[in-house]
Chains A and B, each alone.
Chain A
Amino acid sequence: MADNILTITIGAILVNNFVLSKFLGICPFLGVSKKLKTALGMSGAVVFVMTLASLVTSLIYQFILSKSFSISGTVVNLTFLKILVFIVVIAALVQLVEIILQKFSPPLYQALGIFLPLITTNCAVLGAAELNVQAGRGVIESTVFGFCSALGFALALILFSSLREKLDLAKVPAPLQGTAIGLITAGILAMVFMGFSGLV
Chain B
Amino acid sequence: MSDKPRKFKGGVHPNDSKALSAGKPVQDAPLLDKYTVIIHQNIGAPPELVVKKGDVVKKGDLLAKASGFVSVPLHAPTSGTVSLIDKCPGPACVSVPAVTITADGEDAWGDCLEPIPDWPNTDPAILKQRVADAGIVGMGGAGFPSHVKLSPTKPIDTLILNGAECEPYLTADHRLMLEQAEDVVLGAAILARILGLKTAVIGVEENKPDAIAELKKLAGKYNVTVQSLHVNYPQGAEKQLIYALTGREVPIGGLPMDVGCVVQNVASAAAVAEAVLNGHPSIERITTVTGEPLVNPGNWRFRLGTPVSKAIEMAGGVSVQPAKLLLGGPMMGFAQNTLDVTVMKNTSGILLIPVETASQYTAEPCIRCGRCVEACPMDILPATISQAVENERFDWAAQLNVLACIECGSCSYICPSHRPLNQQFKRAKAEIMAARRKQQKK
Bound: A169/B391 CA distance, A: 7
Residues of chain B from 372 to 394 with CB closer than 8 A to chain A in the complex = 387, 390-391
Bound: A1/B382 CA distance, A: 51
Contacts of A168 in B (CB 8 A): 391
User: How many Cβ-Cβ contacts under 8 Å join chain A to chain B?
Assistant: 5
Q: Mark B235-277, 1 if CB is under 8 A from A, else 0.
A: 0000000000000000000000000000000000000000000
Contacts of A171 in B (CB 8 A): 365
Contacts of B391 in A (CB 8 A): 168-169
Bound: A90/B391 CA distance, A: 41
Interchain CB contact under 8 A, A169 and B365: no
Contacts of B365 in A (CB 8 A): 171
Q: How many residues of B contact A (CB 8 A)?
A: 4
Contacts of A169 in B (CB 8 A): 387, 390-391
Contacts of B387 in A (CB 8 A): 169
Distance in Å: Cβ of A177 to nearest Cβ of chain B: 14
Bound: A168/B387 CA distance, A: 11
Distance in Å: Cβ of B27 to nearest Cβ of chain A: 53
Bound: A169/B390 CA distance, A: 8
Distance in Å: Cβ of A170 to nearest Cβ of chain B: 9
Bound: A168/B390 CA distance, A: 12
Distance in Å: Cβ of B215 to nearest Cβ of chain A: 50
Distance in Å: Cβ of A85 to nearest Cβ of chain B: 47
Residues of chain A from 144 to 187 with CB closer than 8 A to chain B in the complex = 168-169, 171
Bound: A168/B365 CA distance, A: 15
Bound: A169/B385 CA distance, A: 12
Bound: A169/B392 CA distance, A: 10
Among residues of B, the one whose C-beta sits closest to the C-beta of A166 is B387
Bound: A169/B365 CA distance, A: 11
Contacts of B390 in A (CB 8 A): 169
Bound: A171/B387 CA distance, A: 11
Bound: A171/B391 CA distance, A: 11
Bound: A149/B391 CA distance, A: 36
Bound: A197/B390 CA distance, A: 40
Among residues of A, the one whose C-beta sits closest to the C-beta of B393 is A169
Bound: A168/B396 CA distance, A: 14
Among residues of A, the one whose C-beta sits closest to the C-beta of B384 is A169
Among residues of A, the one whose C-beta sits closest to the C-beta of B391 is A169
Bound: A171/B364 CA distance, A: 12
Distance in Å: Cβ of A27 to nearest Cβ of chain B: 28
Distance in Å: Cβ of A36 to nearest Cβ of chain B: 12
Distance in Å: Cβ of A104 to nearest Cβ of chain B: 25
Distance in Å: Cβ of B232 to nearest Cβ of chain A: 32
Among residues of B, the one whose C-beta sits closest to the C-beta of A171 is B365
Q: Mark B20-45, 1 if CB is under 8 A from A, else 0.
A: 00000000000000000000000000
Distance in Å: Cβ of A91 to nearest Cβ of chain B: 38
Bound: A169/B397 CA distance, A: 14
Q: Mark B263-300, 1 if CB is under 8 A from A, else 0.
A: 00000000000000000000000000000000000000
5 sample A-B contacts, Cβ–Cβ < 8 Å, listed by A number: A168-B391, A169-B387, A169-B390, A169-B391, A171-B365
Binding site for B on A (CB under 8 A): 168-169, 171
5 closest A-B pairs by CB: A169-B387, A169-B391, A169-B390, A171-B365, A168-B391
